[in-house]
Amino acid sequence: MSNTPDLGPMPRRITVDVAQVRRLVGEQFPEWAGLPVRPVARSGWDNFTFRLGDAMVARLPSAAEYALAVDKEQHWLPVLAPRLPLPVPVPLAKGRPGAGYPFPWSIYRWLDGEPASADRISDPVRFALDLSGFLAALRNVDTADGPQPGKHNWFRGATLRTYDTLAERALSALDGEIDVGSARESWKTALHTPWDGADRWFHGDIAPGNLLLDGGELAAVIDFGTCGVGDPSCDMAIAWTLLTADGREAFRERLSVDSATWARGRGWALWKTLVTCARTRGRADEEAVDARRVLGEILSPLNTRW
């Protein structure tokens, strides 16, 4: 019998609208009932996000699986926040099901900033060093009683074998369109590179949309729904998905990342990029073009030599 965790079926997402959020706030937090509610333009997949007044944000999971992270965030973000060098979301209140909405939800303080992108970052090496400093501080937080990998974070921090079926399916779909041989070799290397078993805190989704910039500099890190303790190599994926070559080198040196963790981190970047490339086949929009660019970064001989 395999010990590989089972991702199970895709979550069944629901919809949430402004009127529903107004009712939830009015019924459960009357002190905030008069504040305007408006959707955030790019609220992500796992949660629906709404501005509540100017200083707060309501975050409502879009499926039962994503709602598993609510209690974790409510408990751990107040513990992590004072130990980190950049602002992170801190919950102000926890909501309960109501107004036709079936899951627990949260209200946080709003953090200003714009999502990171290569063209918005003023100094790529400085950005890489600031991000690695944040992750170094996160790793140094005591892991006692921390949340182990599970369905609450889609097994971030556990074995990459969880995603082997998805990666192989994407490789098959992309056969003849990319260098499948190199991609599969890199993937197998990541799968067979062992972790030393020492738990460390990780964010689990260090991605451009969760890194906020102010004036081109890293200003905050958001969305800790996939955080936990375990193998922190999943946080290395950003080295290929956003950082420049110089930034990548500075990032690795600042974090003192060993070759095994680096190889597994490349694997985390690779599986998600392969899946995106397969899903966007035949398209020429920004998502498809960016996925092909990232895949080139991951598979470049210059980026696999160290």
Q: Provide the CATH number for the domain around residue 62.
A: 3.30.200.20
For range 258-280, the mean pLDDT: 97
pLDDT of residue 103: 98
Range 71-96 average pLDDT:
98
What domain count does the chain have? 2
Mark whether 231 and 126 lie in a shared domain.
yes
Token readout for 190 is: 């990541």
Q: Which of 57, 84, 110 is the last residue of a domain?
A: 110
The residues facing 214 across adjacent strands are: 217
Has residue 33 been placed in a domain? yes
Average pLDDT over the chain reads: 95
Q: Over 70: is that where the pLDDT of 304 sits?
A: no
Query: Which CA distances in Å does 30 have to 22, 25, 34, 262?
Result: 10, 7, 8, 49
Q: Is the pLDDT of residue 57 over 90?
A: yes
7 domain residue, yes or no: no
Joined tokens for residue 155: 């097994």
pLDDT recorded at residue 6: 76
Mean per-residue pLDDT, 140-164: 97
Question: What pLDDT does residue 303 have?
Answer: 60
Handedness of CA 183, 148, 6, 105 (dihedral sign): negative
Residue-wise pLDDT tens digits, 188-214: 999 999 999 999 999 999 999 999 999
- Whole-prediction pTM: 0.95
pLDDT of 3 higher than 90: no
47 and 148 housed in the same domain: no
234 plus 256 within the same structural domain: yes
Q: Answer whether residue 28 shows pLDDT above 60.
A: yes
Residue 39 lies in a domain: yes
Beta strands at 200-202 and 228-230: parallel, antiparallel or unpaired: antiparallel
Report the CATH number at residue 266. Answer: 3.90.1200.10
If asked whether residues 58 and 24 sit together in one domain, one would say yes
Query: Which is nearest to 235 in space by CA: 213, 216, 254?
Result: 254
Residue 179 in this model has a pLDDT that exceeds 90: yes
Question: Is residue 9, in this structure, part of any structural domain at all?
Answer: no
pLDDT confidence band for 301 (50 / 70 / 90): confident
Range of the domain at 279: 115-304
CA distances from 103 to 45, 75, 225 (A): 16, 17, 15
Longest dimension (CA), the chain: 59
pLDDT class of 306 with cuts at 50, 70, 90: very low
Query: What is the DSSP annotation of the chain?
Result: ---SPP--SPP------HHHHHHHHHHH-GGGTTS-EEE-TT--SSEEEEEETTTEEEEEESSHHHHTHHHHHHHHHHHHGGGSSS----EEEEE-SBTTB-S-EEEEE----EE--TTT-S-HHHHHHHHHHHHHHHHTS--TTPPPSSGGGTTTTS-GGGGHHHHHHHHHHTBTTB-HHHHHHHHHHHHTSPP----EEE-S---GGGEEEETTEEEEE---TT-EEE-GGGGGGHHHHT--HHHHHHHHHHHT--HHHHHHHHHHHHHHHHHHHHHTTT--SHHHHHHHHHHHHHH-HHHH--
Co-location of 275 and 214 in the same domain: yes
Q: Decide if 204 contacts 228 (C-beta within 8 A).
A: yes
Question: What pLDDT digit, counting tens, does each position of 97-127 carry?
Answer: 999 999 999 999 999 999 999 999 999 999 9
In a domain, 217, yes or no: yes
